Structures are given as C-alpha cells and as structure tokens.
Amino acid sequence: MELSGSQMVIEALRKENVSVVFGYPGGAIMNVYDEVYKQNYFRHILTRHEQAAIHAADGYARASGEVGVAFVTSGPGFTNAVTGLATAYMDSIPMVVISGQVPISMIGTDAFQEIDAVGISRPCVKHNYLVKDVKDLPRILKEAFYIARSGRPGPVHVDIPKDVSAHMGEFDYPDEIKMQTYRPTYKGNPRQIKKAIEAIANAKRPVLYIGGGAINSNASAEVREFARIAGIPAVETLMARGIMGDENPLLLGMLGMHGCYSANMAMSEADLMIAFGPRFDDRVTGKLSEFAKHAKIIHVDIDPSSIGKIVPIDYPIVGDLKNVVDAMIPLAKEHIDENKYKPWRDLLNRYDEIHPLKYEDSNEILKPQWAIERVGQLLGDKAIICTDVGQHQMWAAQFYPFSYPRQWVTSGGLGTMGFGLPAAMGAQVAMPSKTIINFTGDGSILMNIQELMTAVESKIPVINIILNNQFLGMVRQWQTFFYDKRYSSTDLTVQPDFVKLVESFGGRGFRVHTKEEFDIALEEALKSNTVCMIDVHVDRFENVLPMVPSGGTLYNMMLEYKE
C-alpha cells in the first residue's frame, strides 16, 4: 500500500491502538495535522503549550500504562517539548513524541524554525530518530513504540522533515519486530534468584525497598504476594506509592528525605535489602557511606546499568520485576519462614508508634496536610492523585491513603513544576471514570496555567487543589532551615485571583479558608463536571517533616523544627 509519510504516521498509530494524541501544530508538522483532520481513529487534544502536550501524554501513560503520544512542530515547538521529554525520561515513562522538522534539503542551513532536535533530545530520551527517507518511516515508527514500552520504558523522539511527511512510500507495518542490537532481558537468572532466596532465608532483618520499576513492570500483585508470604516489611520510594497499598500492615511508608521514621530506620538497621526496581536516588539514600550500612543488597532491575551504579550490589538480578518476583514466590514458600522476622517487624512497628507521620492541626488556620487527608477520607480509591512539585507534593505522598498502583502521578526524578495540571488532564483522559485531583502549589500552577483552556475546551474535569501558602514553599523551607530565614525570591504574596482566573477560562473556582468551606467546595467541584480550581489558603510557614537534610543520614532525621 502506497501512503504519504503523514498517512503512515496515522496508520502506524492505528496499528499501535493509540486512542489519543496531545499536540500543537505548526509549519513543519502541518502535513501530519492535515491527516489528523481527515482520520477518525484517535482523538486529538490541542493543548495550549507544547510542554503541556508532552506532560499530558506522560500523565496518560502513567495512569494507563500505555504509550503516551504527542505531536509538536519544529524549532520552538520542539524546544518547548524538551522539559516534557526530560521529565518522562527521568521517570522511565513510555512515550512517542513526533516532531516536524524543516525539509531535508534545508537541514543545516539555519532555516526558519530549524533546530537540531535530535541533538537536543539525545540526552533526555531513550532513543531518537531523524527520518531521512520515507521508506524507513514504518520501521522507525514500529521501533519507536517497541523501544518506548519494552525493557526499561522511556520516551522515544521521532523527528520527521516536512518533505518526508509528504513523500509517498510503501507502508509495510510489521506486527512483530526483532532488533539486531536491542534485546532486553525479561527472565531473571534462576541461579541468582536461588542465591537471593538463600540470602533472605539467612537474614534476620530483611527489608523490601520498592521503586518505580515495580509500577512500570505492573508487579504490584506479585510484590504484595511475595511480601506476605515472606513476612518482610516494605518501604516505598516516591515513585512506588500504591504498590503495597497503605492498608497493608507490612508497609512502613515512604522512605528518603521526607520519608517516615520507621521506613528510614528499617533501611538503616536492616541486614538485607531487597531492592525491587528502585534506583538509589540521592533523595532516598542520603549520605551514601552511611546508607544501609549493615545490609547486603539484592537488586532486581531490568536495566543492568542501574545495578551497581550508586552502591555495590551483592546479588544482582537483571530481569523484569514481575517475572522475577513470580519466580521467587514458590521458592519463598518453600524456604522462608515468616515467623523468623517477627521480632524485626515488631521493632519497626514500635518505631512507627514512637514517631509516626504527624502534623499539628489547628482550628484557626487550615493545614495543608489536613486538606490532603480530607480528600483521602472523602475520595479514597475513587481518585487518582496528581501533583506539582514542592511541599504540597511531599505532603500528598505522605498523607494520601494510596491503595493501588498508578493511583499516583508525580514528577519524581526531574521534579518539574508545571507538570501537575497537564499530567492530570492526561490521567483523566486515560481514566474517564475516576476523579482526578491535582494537588498543586501557588507557584507551580502558574507554570502551565494556560492548560485550563484545554481542559475547558476538551471537557476534562480535573480538580486542582492549590495548597496556597503564598510561597515557593519548599524553597522557603530550606531558607528557613539552612539560610537564616533570608527569603530570597520566594514570597508569592503578589498573586492572581485564582477564582476569577479559572472562571475567565470557563471553569469553576472556589476560595477556601475553613474546613467547612473546603468540604463544600470539594462537593461542588465534584458535581460541576468541569475543570475546577480550589484555592485553599493554608498556613504559610508549615514545614515538611520529618526531613533528612541533603547529605545527612537516614537514621538521623530532623523530626521537628525548633526555632
């Protein structure tokens, strides 16, 4: 079948079962957009900024587990997309981003809206392509989707010059592909798995350290089962929230810089760490020489380069987590006695009783943590929780009661302010029957505020809850703790009227100062079926605690802040 390059893009998306594309047109990608107009296989959602198109595709991918897809034009369209690519890359999110490029004959001439897009995207994508001949396009698109979703997932960028998208060629789209140079390992080495099980059986104080890989591998059920059979207490990274379910008695909570005391103590006192798809981020480990000092380490990861990158590993297992844990379960039944770890579990539970996550509620002023807990009480598992970046993000991770994987959408590795609203839109499109809450800050929300227009136009009823502290709160907190309260450029008392702002776009706005107002606003928002913004005025000087100051040790957390 002879098709133009643009038609090939549409057909390839159809073959990949893509149901939605987020994007923004421009000169170099107009051929593709002309075919978007003619087709009815997938929905196209016009965002109001390219960064938001990428974040929306990303949020879609995180919530659904499917590959997110976005289109942008050349030059500024592409450069606007870069933050989105980097955000997805740092968190291993499967995505295919297609950009227009100037025609082949003009590449290298500094043509209008020409930029070396593959040169720029190279360090922030899993792989990229500049398509030089339309006959390569079907293969490249097939590879792009395959690479994005297989192995350690990640964004793939395909740059298509304008003439290539017009050229005609044979469209032969393979169902299956095998690549000569890319073959991820899925099955763990049985000998290594056996050794790991022996190590667990011999341990006295084992701990499961669960990372974002468990989400990507869809391994929640297996990990829960393994933990239950072996009776091993677990900690989750920011990216892994929802894997164990917060009701699970084996889950201590989140670890790391703003992790809970018992989780960080479990890591510090363990004699064996069983790492299921984490990456030993510095926000998790604190000072490396003191990190899990007494523990031997089993590390299961699909990416060999992740193993041993930060700390030496005693039992490396390369493979897909779901696959590996599945193989571990029968061995655990046979060789591991969960009673053995009871004293250890009791000790950790005692730690949790001594120093639980907490905050001081008040009747004078709303506390941000209260708002999060309240949404948790009212919506629980009915809501998918998205966030921006800052204090509100950490409080959401700490205080929302998560019960399943992909219920939590946050930018972890890059920490991108402005991610929340567009990602929430993507999550809503992926999960139309869920309530989508975006906990955001008065700083972050302004970084992609234009997306209120997209949400109104495309009828995406996400509920944005601004925990408004009139500060770049997380930075302000560091200034309070480490810079003698010199609040350099973090005061946001000058701010828009958020209620009027959202209403000018056609959404609904609510201003909240009390608990009663909060409940009413949330109820109204849930009924409104349109994009909403609840501007919650909270205590300006609340701090995220506990805290491991950067470079500090996990066993020496700051539990309280004293003036």
Partner 1 sequence: MEQIRRVLSVIVLNEDGVLSRISGLFAGRGYNIDSLTVAPIPKTNLSRLTIVTSGNTAVLEQIVKQLHKLIPTYKVIESGTFVEKELALVKIPLNEDFNGLDAMLKAYNGTIASSNEDFIVVMVADDYERIDNFLKAIKKYNPIDMVRSGSVAMDI
Using rule CB under 6 A, residue 442 touches ligand TPP? yes
Q: Contacts for 196-200 with beta carbons within 8 Å, 24 or more apart?
A: 196/274, 196/298, 196/315, 196/317, 196/328, 197/328, 197/331, 197/332, 197/335, 197/336, 198/335, 199/272, 199/296, 199/298, 199/314, 199/315, 200/230, 200/232, 200/272, 200/274, 200/298, 200/332, 200/335, 200/336
**Least CB distance to partner 1 at residue 305 (A):** 4
- The answer to whether residue 113 is catalytic is yes
200 contacts: CB under 8 Å, gap ≥ 6 = 206, 230, 232, 272, 274, 298, 332, 335, 336
Pairing between strand 2-4 and 20-23? unpaired
H/E element holding 440? strand 435-441
Residues of this chain, 274-333, that bind partner 1 according to CB under 8 A: 303-305, 308-309, 312
Which position among 166, 201, 378, 475 is part of the footprint of ligand TPP (CB under 6 A)?
475
Using rule CB under 6 A, residue 448 touches ligand TPP? no
Stretch that binds partner 1, among 118-126, 283-291, 392-400, 455-463 (CB under 8 A): 118-126
Using rule CB under 6 A, residue 479 touches ligand TPP? no
179: partner contacted, choices Mg ion, ligand TPP, partner 1, none (Cβ within 5-8 A by kind) = partner 1
**Secondary structure in 3-state letters for 249-280:** CCEEEECCCCCCHHHHHHHHHCCEEEEECCCC
Stretch that binds Mg ion, among 22-30, 117-125, 205-213, 473-481 (CB under 5 A): 473-481
- The answer to whether residue 162 is catalytic is yes
Distances (CA, A) of 425 to 106, 210, 378: 37, 27, 21
Using rule CB under 5 A, residue 469 touches Mg ion? yes
Which position among 344, 402, 471, 505 is part of the footprint of ligand TPP (CB under 6 A)?
471
Buried b / exposed e over 216-237, threshold 16 CB at 10 Å, is bbebbebbbbbbbbbbbbbbbb
Token pair for 349: 């539970």
294: partner contacted, choices Mg ion, partner 1, ligand TPP, none (Cβ within 5-8 A by kind) = none
Stretch that binds ligand TPP, among 109-117, 259-267, 400-408, 469-477 (CB under 6 A): 469-477
How many residues are present in the chain? 563
Which position among 319, 443, 507, 546 is part of the footprint of ligand TPP (CB under 6 A)?
443
**Least CB distance to Mg ion at residue 519 (A):** 22
Stretch that binds Mg ion, among 7-15, 82-90, 197-205, 437-445 (CB under 5 A): 437-445
**Least CB distance to ligand TPP at residue 443 (A):** 3
- The answer to whether residue 474 is catalytic is yes
Residue 415 or 496: the one with the smaller Cβ distance to ligand TPP is 415
124: partner contacted, choices partner 1, Mg ion, ligand TPP, none (Cβ within 5-8 A by kind) = none
Q: Which of 35, 51, 71, 162 is catalytic?
A: 162
**Least CB distance to ligand TPP at residue 373 (A):** 16
Buried b / exposed e over 59-97, threshold 16 CB at 10 Å, is bbbbbbbbbbbbbbbbbebbbbbbbbbbbbbbbbbbbbb
Query: What is the distance between the terminal CA atoms of the chain, rounded to a whole angstrom?
Result: 73
Query: By rule CB under 6 A, what string of x and - marks binding of each residue 354-393 to ligand TPP?
Result: ----------------------------------xxxxx-
Q: Which of 474, 533, 547, 557 is catalytic?
A: 474
Residue count, binding to partner 1 (CB under 8 A): 19
Using rule CB under 8 A, residue 127 touches partner 1? yes
Residues of this chain, 380-439, that bind partner 1 according to CB under 8 A: none
φ/ψ bin of 361: left (φ > 0), alpha (ψ from -120 to 50), beta (otherwise): beta
Using rule CB under 8 A, residue 215 touches partner 1? no
Residue 304 or 415: the one with the smaller Cβ distance to Mg ion is 415
Using rule CB under 8 A, residue 130 touches partner 1? yes
**Of 231, 234, 207, nearest in space to 220 by CA:** 234
Residue 301 or 442: the one with the smaller Cβ distance to Mg ion is 442
Dmax (CA) of the chain: 73
Which position among 472, 531, 534, 554 is part of the footprint of ligand TPP (CB under 6 A)?
472
Distance in angstroms (rounded) separating the CA atoms of residues 190 and 147: 26
Residue 182 or 541: the one with the smaller Cβ distance to ligand TPP is 541
How many Cβ atoms are within 10 Å of 561's Cβ, its own excluded? 14
Token pair for 512: 């909240």
**Residue nearest Mg ion (C-beta atom):** 441
Q: Which of 1, 112, 342, 382 is catalytic?
A: 112
123: partner contacted, choices partner 1, ligand TPP, Mg ion, none (Cβ within 5-8 A by kind) = partner 1
Residue 8 or 130: the one with the smaller Cβ distance to partner 1 is 130
DSSP line for 330-361: HHHHHH--GGGGHHHHHHHHHHHHHS------
Strand, coil or helix: what is 438? Answer: strand
Distances (CA, A) of 246 to 151, 253, 338, 405, 428: 28, 8, 20, 11, 23
- The answer to whether residue 247 is catalytic is no
Which position among 473, 507, 509, 546 is part of the footprint of ligand TPP (CB under 6 A)?
473
| Strands lying side by side in the sheet with 206-210 | 251-254, 234-236, 206-210, 272-276, 296-301, 315-318
**Of 55, 45, 54, 49, nearest in space to 21 by CA:** 45
Which position among 125, 313, 332, 467 is part of the footprint of ligand TPP (CB under 6 A)?
467
- The answer to whether residue 393 is catalytic is no
Residues of this chain, 144-163, that bind partner 1 according to CB under 8 A: 147
The answer to whether 54 and 81 have CB atoms below 8 angstroms apart is yes
The residues of the shown chain that bind partner 1, judged by CB under 8 A, are 118-119, 122-123, 126-127, 130, 132, 147, 179-182, 303-305, 308-309, 312
Residues known to be catalytic: 50, 112-113, 162, 474
The residues of the shown chain that bind Mg ion, judged by CB under 5 A, are 441-443, 469, 471, 473
The residues of the shown chain that bind ligand TPP, judged by CB under 6 A, are 388-392, 415-418, 441-444, 467, 469, 471-475
